Structure 1
Amino acid sequence: MLNVYTDTKFIEKHPKGEKFPLIYALLFDERNEFMEVKNYYQLVDSIEEAAVAFLPFSWNYYLNQNLRAEAEHFIDECHKKNLKVLTYISGDQGVTPTRKDVYVFRNSGYKSKKLEHQISFPAFFKDPLVHYINKEDHQVRVKETKPVIGFVGQATPNLLKAAKDIGLIVYRNLKFHLGKTRLEPQQWFAAPFMRFKYLKRLEKHKDIKTNIIYRERYRAGVRTNRSADKTTYEFYENINDSDYIFNLRGAGNFSVRFYQTLAMGRIPVLIDTDCLLPLEGIIDWTQHCIRIPQGKEHEMEQRLLEFHQNLTQEKFEEIQKANRKLWEDYLTLVSFFTRIHDLLKDVNYK
């Protein structure tokens, strides 16, 4: 059991603040969805009782609300007690955290720009096999001669939109360098245009079978919960009916689809744009996905085909089952924070 401390009074003053994910499990778990976390972490009232402390809200919230001084005062008080402090960066672009010695959790960012104590964590979402796909409809797929690669999402050849996307990135980067925004600079990247480009290449390859639904806008532009549910069902049905799923970053340098693919027991094909994946020192990601390195995108089709052709039916089934189990055991909110529990005791963990 790890005793953890946070500023609960600050949470009461700011009930709408964007909370550290562990907060939900320890303080706001009304449906008892995250009970297992409490077997590993105990929230204590006194800083003297704690082994680790964490800021209750994201850095984005502290900076946007001009509360940085309060956040850094909390860090200083914890450091006086020799406590490690865990912090959280949210959003696609992210913000630059304090220069004080803290551990930073985030699911976006660039591997080449990784902070000394940065911990990559996965996107958290509902179990698709509980909420969207009936388990009896979810079967381990049989290996066909041609790999079946699926995708549902925003992908468009619209050059005007691509120019606009890049223009907005340039504009935000300039604002950062002028001190007008806290959002970190991003690589110039028009994600929907690049997705369209790669997907069309896959469609043209005679030895690859594709299962692709193009969207002009995110979630097909839906605005109601009912419509959002419909597109989510379609999204997971597409994954269910595919062997592999194409993954390329969005506005931020990470892909929620990557984790959703694993949760469905399918195999991600990840265009690696200098990505940070969780627990890279623990998980051998080469056993769970096809990772196309930056600069090797032209080898995408060849790598997919070689990977698929080298699999026996037994190994193909084994990877599907292993990917689902990986998500269950390491990448849900509960499993990730139970796995990270022991690592937090190691001051040298990075």
Structure 2
Amino acid sequence: MTIYYPKSHYDKNHRSEVFPLLKPFVKGNDFTDAQRVAMYGVSDQDFTIVDDIQEAEVCILPMSWNYYLSTKQLPVALEFIEQAKVVGKKVWSFISGDHGVKHPEDDHVVVFRLGGYQSKHRSNHKGMPVFIGDYLLKNNLLDNYLPKTYSEQPLVGFCGQANGSKIQAGLDVIKKGCFNLKSLTGLSFYEPETLVPTSHLRAQLLQRLAHSEAIADQFILRAQYRAGVTHGKDRHQTTLEFYNNILESQYVLCVRGGGNFSVRFYETLMMGRIPVYIHTDGFLPLNDTIDWKHHVVWIEPDEQHKIAEKVLSFHSQLTAESLKVLSESNRKLWEDKLRMKGFFLTVSGIIQNN
């Protein structure tokens, strides 16, 4: 796949805002292809940067739309989009972070995003995975990751932040209300958010699962995100507890966080487990080609009160063998379609065929 991007746009001081697929290629001249493969799983054999826009299969805005807005460089981005239109090339853009930003409607631009609300956007907005490292490979667990036991009771895990306080829920709603007011009055370029206290929602759903005699649970509740750990997170005991909780479960509750997406969702798939996915009108990657309801326990907004019954119904269709098959399938889905290489090659093929 050949890529063109305007090199003058790249800002090394805002690397977190660089389009994900470009990060492996713009680190510097000392960044070898072997390092690129080890860190990102992509090679210059898979993606080639070209200097002539005419030779490119796709043009990429190198920085996030958030960046162009916050640095008042929107005209620069729009000028490049027009340049690509003249030569008949699609432009890939992305919205970074938890909160969506206002993006002009343009069917010539494919907008990748983690969060946002599918019902509020046009078809050119596409869900993008959270690109995470391979914990199983890193810790030599690939030969021993499949579920070891099966029982008629589904085993649901969760390790993370959940707060059942109604007072805190009210404060969270007020905070989001103020956030939305700034958006609606034009004082910020962020899109409005639904007034959902997400930590309280997690607590409610966990409580419903815990109260069901049909469900076996193993929940570790934190008062803060990542238990408040900010340094050495990958090696901290709480991180080990997090991954072990997934590995020792069959199902994992995955609820949106500050943005309308769940990192835990991708971590669960990476570890070959089954997400209990709470659908909140979010974007899932490749939703036109992946039968997500085959891979996850899908909970619609009006089904949250029946979450235990939905998990049990899904589990009752599985045997010990088919549970292992689904675990392998979820792991393979992540490897083939939700890592950087597989995702962008798949998207490129879909767009070109359309």
TM above 0.5, yes or no, is yes
Percent identical: 36
> Once the 2 structures are TM-superposed, how far is the Cα of residue 334 of structure 1 from its aligned partner?
1.7
Query: 1:153-168 to 2 correspondence within 5 Å?
Result: 153-168=160-175
> Once the 2 structures are TM-superposed, how far is the Cα of residue 14 of structure 1 from its aligned partner?
5.5
Task: Please report the TM-score for the alignment, with normalisation by the length of structure 2.
Answer: 0.92
| 1:301 aligned to which of 308, 317, 321 | 308
1:51 maps to: 57
Query: 1:26-65 to 2 correspondence within 5 Å?
Result: 26-28=25-27, 30=32, 31-33=35-37, 34=40, 36-65=42-71
Task: Please report the TM-score for the alignment, with normalisation by the length of structure 1.
Answer: 0.93
What is the identity, as a one-letter code, of the residue corresponding to 1:202?
Answer: L
SS of residue matched to 1:187? coil
Instruction: Say yes or no: does 1:222 pair with 2:243.
Output: no
Give, in whole Å, the separation in 2 of the partners of 1:13 and 1:310.
51
1:25 maps to: 24
Question: Is the CA contact (8 Å cut-off) linking 1:20 and 1:88 kept in structure 2?
Answer: yes
> Once the 2 structures are TM-superposed, how far is the Cα of residue 165 of structure 1 from its aligned partner?
1.2
Question: Is the CA contact (8 Å cut-off) linking 1:40 and 1:341 kept in structure 2?
Answer: no
Q: Once the two structures are superposed, what CA deviation does each residue of 1:288-311 show, in whole Å capped at 9, x if it has no partner?
A: 101011211122111111111221
> Once the 2 structures are TM-superposed, how far is the Cα of residue 133 of structure 1 from its aligned partner?
6.6
SS of residue matched to 2:204? helix
1:88 maps to: 94
Q: Once the two structures are superposed, what CA deviation does each residue of 1:118-168 show, in whole Å capped at 9, x if it has no partner?
A: 111111111010235734552333211211100011101122321121111
* Residues 17 and 329 of structure 1: CA distance in aligned 2, closer, same or farther (over 3 Å): closer
Moved more, 318-327 or 18-27: 18-27
1:200 maps to: 207
- Name the count of aligned residue pairs: 346
1:110 maps to: 117
What is the identity, as a one-letter code, of the residue corresponding to 1:239?
Answer: I
Question: Is the CA contact (8 Å cut-off) linking 2:162 and 2:199 kept in structure 1?
Answer: yes
> Once the 2 structures are TM-superposed, how far is the Cα of residue 328 of structure 1 from its aligned partner?
0.5
> Once the 2 structures are TM-superposed, how far is the Cα of residue 12 of structure 1 from its aligned partner?
5.5
Give, in whole Å, the separation in 2 of the partners of 1:224 and 1:259.
22
Question: Is the CA contact (8 Å cut-off) linking 1:72 and 1:98 kept in structure 2?
Answer: no
Instruction: Say yes or no: does 1:141 pair with 2:148.
Output: yes
Moved more, 309-318 or 37-46: 37-46
What is the identity, as a one-letter code, of the residue corresponding to 2:19?
Answer: F
Instruction: Say yes or no: does 1:183 pair with 2:168.
Output: no
Structure 1 residue runs of 5 or longer lacking an equivalent are none
What is the identity, as a one-letter code, of the residue corresponding to 1:84?
Answer: K
Question: Is the CA contact (8 Å cut-off) linking 2:145 and 2:272 kept in structure 1?
Answer: no
Give, in whole Å, the separation in 2 of the partners of 1:150 and 1:35.
29
Question: Is the CA contact (8 Å cut-off) linking 1:240 and 1:264 kept in structure 2?
Answer: yes
* Residues 76 and 248 of structure 1: CA distance in aligned 2, closer, same or farther (over 3 Å): same
What is the identity, as a one-letter code, of the residue corresponding to 2:172?
Answer: D
> Once the 2 structures are TM-superposed, how far is the Cα of residue 38 of structure 1 from its aligned partner?
2.9
What is the identity, as a one-letter code, of the residue corresponding to 1:340?
Answer: V
Give, in whole Å, the separation in 2 of the partners of 1:121 and 1:17.
16
1:72 maps to: 78
> Once the 2 structures are TM-superposed, how far is the Cα of residue 232 of structure 1 from its aligned partner?
1.9
What is the identity, as a one-letter code, of the residue corresponding to 1:7?
Answer: P
Question: Is the CA contact (8 Å cut-off) linking 2:57 and 2:89 kept in structure 1?
Answer: yes
> Once the 2 structures are TM-superposed, how far is the Cα of residue 49 of structure 1 from its aligned partner?
2.2
> Once the 2 structures are TM-superposed, how far is the Cα of residue 56 of structure 1 from its aligned partner?
0.1
Give, in whole Å, the separation in 2 of the partners of 1:220 and 1:241.
20
> Once the 2 structures are TM-superposed, how far is the Cα of residue 265 of structure 1 from its aligned partner?
0.4
What is the identity, as a one-letter code, of the residue corresponding to 1:46?
Answer: D
> Once the 2 structures are TM-superposed, how far is the Cα of residue 226 of structure 1 from its aligned partner?
4.9
* Residues 35 and 314 of structure 1: CA distance in aligned 2, closer, same or farther (over 3 Å): closer
SS of residue matched to 1:149? strand
Structure 2 residue runs of 5 or longer lacking an equivalent are none
Moved more, 162-171 or 124-133: 124-133
Question: Is the CA contact (8 Å cut-off) linking 1:37 and 1:338 kept in structure 2?
Answer: no
Question: Is the CA contact (8 Å cut-off) linking 1:133 and 1:237 kept in structure 2?
Answer: no
SS of residue matched to 1:344? helix
1:290 maps to: 297
* Residues 160 and 233 of structure 1: CA distance in aligned 2, closer, same or farther (over 3 Å): same
> Once the 2 structures are TM-superposed, how far is the Cα of residue 77 of structure 1 from its aligned partner?
1.2
Q: Once the two structures are superposed, what CA deviation does each residue of 1:153-204 show, in whole Å capped at 9, x if it has no partner?
A: 1101122321121111110111011110011001101011110111011111
SS of residue matched to 1:48? helix
Moved more, 120-129 or 105-114: 105-114
* Residues 91 and 13 of structure 1: CA distance in aligned 2, closer, same or farther (over 3 Å): closer
Moved more, 203-212 or 160-169: 160-169
Q: Once the two structures are superposed, what CA deviation does each residue of 1:26-64 show, in whole Å capped at 9, x if it has no partner?
A: 333651224645333321112232232110010011101
* Residues 196 and 121 of structure 1: CA distance in aligned 2, closer, same or farther (over 3 Å): same
Moved more, 111-120 or 322-331: 111-120
Superposition RMSD in Å = 1.9
Question: Is the CA contact (8 Å cut-off) linking 2:42 and 2:340 kept in structure 1?
Answer: no
